[in-house]
């Protein structure tokens, strides 16, 4: 069992309350999906539960969870990247001490079951030499080797190919312990979660709300949508009634005002009109109170009001990118021959097994074409978060201090991402993975890129932010080439699909 009572987490420097008075229980056999907008504290909660230090945060409340606890961290390579595979499986911490060598005998068969080729289990191979999806699969293998009583999984579906996602589903559905997991993959949540913990922030992030429901995800979404529509209808009805009353009031006010101007020589009529005007002004104050009582419409799900300018486009049939030849990762030959011709406008998705070379292909295309003047190439790599390790603020990432026009435009767009003026000056290091992804999309809009290379664009985005990505791509009239394992996203986009294998690229359907 996992239990949290009256948990409050506050960012000390900004004084922002991230989580307030949160209480919930996850029983054995329950698989609770922790969802919410980027930056709402999902990863922070998992780190707190896993006992990871939270510098810069003040924590109040209590927790209880059955030990040992298996924790899959979102930024695993930051701590474990330089660790060799052997030590990774044997150690609890990168600089820890091996306490049980008996695990060695279990590793080869576990790797084989997870479809790793022979030779993966080597003391000479570090974790950062594997692809993003392979690293997640290694983490899942490690979790399966020990007798954990609780699982805390932060984005376990990130970068996994379709076959590995099936392994993850089996892993989740077969466990009988308490599971709390964060994922952007709606399909995974729908199939595996038997409960939802939804974190929200309202009124410009000044109010925190948490909803815990032991129901399937699709049912939760349907109930939430129905409640949202009903609340919106109630507010709109009250607003319409009040607007009608105010319109009638304004008409009477103008009539009385006109009569007052005309009766300067009739004291008795003037006295009556003055009394009537006083009553009207009193009614105006009543309207203001009624308007305040109605409140605002429900904010609904976070939605990125961001589109590409209409001038960001490509002529029909324009050849924008091409590649023909062997594909290398460093000195290692991955695929003997790859042939790709990309024309605009349109969308093309690349799928394939983890480690086959999808990210390498996008990186190769970017390096070969980034200096071209006939296209404006935007690139979001799989490890885009490394771009945020440098010092600077959110606003300075998007525009220079000297270009006031560009800075004002960046501020305007940041507002559409629900950033407050204060948050625009937050350091880049304070952002969650999903917030960084959104900033990347925004930067592409501001730079008016007309060719996009996107490596796993949905990774780190909450399920409630996927509509914003669809909205953004729907407005784009250039050429997009992206790598993705998100089946719902690919099929929804109706993109041309290419599968990368040892035989090269081949068009296919899902």
48 and 104 share a domain? yes
Residue 213 is assigned to a structural domain of this protein = no
123 and 259 share a domain? no
191 and 250 share a domain? no
List the beta bridge partners of residue 25: 3
How high is the pLDDT of residue 237? 78
End-of-domain residue from the set 294, 310, 343: 294
CA distance 381 to 378: 10
CA distance 119 to 130: 13
Q: Which domain holds residue 166?
A: 2-203
CA distance 509 to 47: 39
For residues 119-136, average pLDDT: 80
With a pLDDT cut of 70, the percent of the chain lying above it is: 95
Among 397, 400, 349, CA closest to 509: 349
Residue 174 is assigned to a structural domain of this protein = yes
How high is the pLDDT of residue 258? 78
pLDDT exceeds 70 at position 312: yes
Confidence of residue 303 (pLDDT cuts 50, 70, 90): very low
**Structural domains of the chain, count:** 3
- Residue 21: how many CB atoms within 10 A of its CB? 13
157 and 75 share a domain? yes
Span 380-416, pLDDT tens digits: 988 777 777 667 888 888 887 778 888 888 888 888 7
Q: Left (φ > 0), alpha (ψ -120 to 50) or beta: where does 401 sit? A: alpha
| Residue owning tokens 């081949």 | 506
In contact, 60 and 14? CB cutoff 8 Å:
no
158 and 289 share a domain? no
Per the prediction, the chain carries an average pLDDT of: 85
Angle of helix 162-174 relative to helix 132-145, nearest 10 degrees, comes to: 20
194 and 262 share a domain? no
Please tell me the least confidently modeled range out of 128-132, 137-141, 291-295.
291-295
pLDDT exceeds 70 at position 450: yes
109 and 258 share a domain? no
State the CATH number of the domain containing residue 402.
3.40.50.300
Pairwise pLDDT comparison (284 vs 198), residue with the higher score: 198
How high is the pLDDT of residue 367? 94
Tokens of 398: 């998007």
| Residue owning tokens 């005007």 | 277
Residue 182 is assigned to a structural domain of this protein = yes
Pairwise pLDDT comparison (438 vs 259), residue with the higher score: 438
CA distance 488 to 298: 27
- Residue 333: how many CB atoms within 10 A of its CB? 11
How high is the pLDDT of residue 302? 43
H or E element: which one contains 344?
Answer: strand 332-344
Residue 200 dihedral angles phi and psi, to the nearest 5°: -135, 155
Residue 456 is assigned to a structural domain of this protein = yes
Please tell me the least confidently modeled range out of 6-10, 245-249, 303-307.
303-307
Please tell me the least confidently modeled range out of 83-92, 257-266, 335-344, 359-368.
257-266
3-state percent helix, strand, coil for the chain, nearest multiple of 5: 45, 25, 35
For residues 159-172, average pLDDT: 84
pLDDT exceeds 90 at position 277: no
Q: Is the peptide bond before 68 cis (omega within 30 degrees of 0)?
A: yes
Residue 211 is assigned to a structural domain of this protein = no
End-of-domain residue from the set 173, 203, 233: 203
For residues 75-91, average pLDDT: 86
Q: Is the peptide bond before 464 cis (omega within 30 degrees of 0)?
A: no
Tokens of 355: 């480690």
- Residue 116: how many CB atoms within 10 A of its CB? 21
pLDDT exceeds 80 at position 266: no
pTM of full prediction above 0.85: no
375 and 438 share a domain? yes
CA distances, 290 to each of 22, 66, 199 (Å): 33, 51, 30
Confidence of residue 362 (pLDDT cuts 50, 70, 90): very high
282 and 374 share a domain? no
pLDDT exceeds 90 at position 31: yes
Confidence of residue 265 (pLDDT cuts 50, 70, 90): low
Confidence of residue 281 (pLDDT cuts 50, 70, 90): confident
For residues 7-22, average pLDDT: 87
How high is the pLDDT of residue 335? 95
pLDDT exceeds 60 at position 323: yes
Residue 216 is assigned to a structural domain of this protein = no
Is 339 in a helix, a strand, or coil? strand
CA distance 377 to 373: 9
180 and 123 share a domain? yes
Residue 129 is assigned to a structural domain of this protein = yes
Span 331-340, pLDDT tens digits: 889 999 999 9
Pick from 94-103, 188-197, 247-256, 270-279 the range whose average pLDDT is largest. Answer: 188-197
Angle of helix 404-416 relative to helix 433-446, nearest 10 degrees, comes to: 130
For residues 161-169, average pLDDT: 83
Residue 92 is assigned to a structural domain of this protein = yes
391 and 436 share a domain? yes
């Amino acid at each position: 069992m996992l239990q949290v009572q009256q948990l409050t987490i506050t960012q000390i420097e900004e004084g922002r309350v991230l989580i307030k008075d949160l209480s919930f229980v996850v029983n054995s056999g329950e698989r609770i999906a922790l969802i919410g907008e980027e930056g709402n504290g999902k990863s922070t909660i998992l780190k707190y539960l896993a006992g990871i230090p939270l510098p810069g945060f003040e924590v109040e409340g209590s927790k209880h969870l059955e030990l040992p606890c298996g924790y899959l961290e979102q930024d695993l390579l930051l701590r474990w990247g330089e660790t060799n595979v052997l030590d990774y499986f044997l150690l609890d911490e990168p600089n820890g001490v091996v306490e049980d060598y008996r695990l060695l005998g279990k590793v080869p068969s576990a790797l084989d079951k997870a479809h790793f080729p022979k030779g993966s289990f080597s003391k000479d191979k570090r974790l950062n030499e594997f692809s993003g999806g392979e690293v997640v699969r290694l983490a899942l293998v490690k979790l399966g080797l020990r007798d954990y009583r609780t699982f805390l999984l932060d984005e376990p579906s990130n970068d996994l190919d379709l076959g590995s996602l099936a392994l993850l589903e089996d892993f989740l559905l077969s466990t009988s312990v308490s599971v709390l997991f964060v994922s952007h993959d709606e399909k995974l949540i729908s199939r595996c979660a038997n409960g939802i913990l939804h974190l929200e922030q309202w009124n410009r992030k000044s109010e925190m709300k948490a909803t815990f429901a032991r129901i399937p995800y699709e049912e939760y979404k349907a109930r939430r949508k129905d409640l949202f529509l009903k609340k919106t209808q109630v507010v709109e009805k009250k607003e319409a009634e009040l607007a009608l009353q105010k319109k009638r009031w304004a008409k009477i006010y103008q009539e009385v005002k006109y009569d007052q101007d005309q009766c300067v020589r009739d004291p008795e009529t003037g006295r009556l009109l003055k009394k009537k005007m006083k009553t009207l002004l009193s009614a105006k104050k009543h309207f203001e109170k009624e308007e305040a009582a109605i409140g605002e419409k429900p904010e609904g799900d976070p939605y990125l009001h961001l589109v590409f300018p209409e001038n960001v486009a490509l002529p029909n049939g324009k050849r924008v990118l091409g590649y023909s030849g062997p594909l290398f990762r460093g000195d290692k030959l991955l695929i003997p021959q790859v042939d790709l011709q990309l024309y605009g406008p349109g969308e093309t998705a690349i799928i394939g097994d983890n480690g086959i070379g999808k990210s390498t292909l996008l990186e190769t295309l970017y390096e070969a074409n980034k200096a071209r003047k006939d296209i404006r190439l935007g690139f979001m790599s799989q490890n885009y978060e490394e771009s945020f390790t440098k010092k600077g603020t959110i606003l300075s990432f998007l525009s220079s201090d000297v270009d006031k026009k560009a800075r004002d435009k960046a501020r305007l767009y940041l507002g559409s991402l629900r950033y407050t003026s204060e948050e625009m000056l937050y350091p880049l290091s304070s952002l969650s993975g999903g917030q960084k992804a959104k900033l990347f999309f925004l930067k592409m809009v501001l730079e008016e890129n007309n060719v996009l290379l996107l490596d796993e664009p949905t990774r780190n985005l909450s399920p409630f932010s996927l509509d914003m990505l669809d909205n953004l791509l729907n407005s784009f009239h250039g050429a997009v080439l992206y790598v993705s394992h998100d089946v719902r996203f690919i099929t929804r986009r109706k993109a041309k699909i290419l599968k990368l294998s040892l035989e090269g690229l081949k068009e296919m359907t899902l």
